[in-house]
Amino acid sequence: MRKFLLDTTVLSRLCYPFREENRDLIRWFDAFSRDDDLLFLPEIVDYETRRGLLHIALRSGQSTTRSLRHLDELGQVMTYVPLTTSAMRRSAHLWAEARIIGFPTGPSIDADTILAAQALEISGAVVTDNLRHLGRFVPSYRWQDIPL
């Protein structure tokens, strides 16, 4: 059985289930999340999503309480993958390898290598809209390409 870790773009969309453009993703998630231990919430992805929601709230003066509540609820139905020393050390290695072979190593690559390392730690794959970046490090799929 495959383990799938959600990337930030996918998790962020799940925090807005009331948006029409997210309906198909929500249906996919609901069907997929019925099976225990298939979908995983990496700590780095929770952090990136949460900081984004809080930033929107502070910048705009609008409340993201509903979206943050959805994020917390998602964390209760998925298996949480905490950051570990082992994953961070593996991430540092992935980052250094990427740098040596000429991949850009800006801030987003840090989160990508941390997520990839978390996936490698549990022999999982990443569900993402960013196959080009994450696919360099770990098996990656678009949610639409994962059959229910």
In the CATH hierarchy, which top-level class contains the domain 4-82+123-145? alpha beta
Rounded Cα distance, 81 and 42, in Å: 5
Domain extent listing, the chain: 4-82+123-145
**Most confidently modeled range among 30-34, 71-75, 81-85:** 81-85
Rounded Cα distance, 23 and 138, in Å: 27
Backbone phi and psi for residue 19, each to the nearest 5 degrees, phi listed first: -85, 135
pTM summary value: 0.91
Task: Report residue 62 as tokens.
Answer: 């609008």
Rounded Cα distance, 78 and 8, in Å: 14
Q: What are 126-147's pLDDT values in tens digits?
A: 999 888 888 989 999 999 998 7
Lowest mean pLDDT among 21-25, 31-35, 43-47, 124-128: 31-35
The residue with tokens 């770990």 is: 138
Q: Average pLDDT, whole number, for the chain?
A: 90
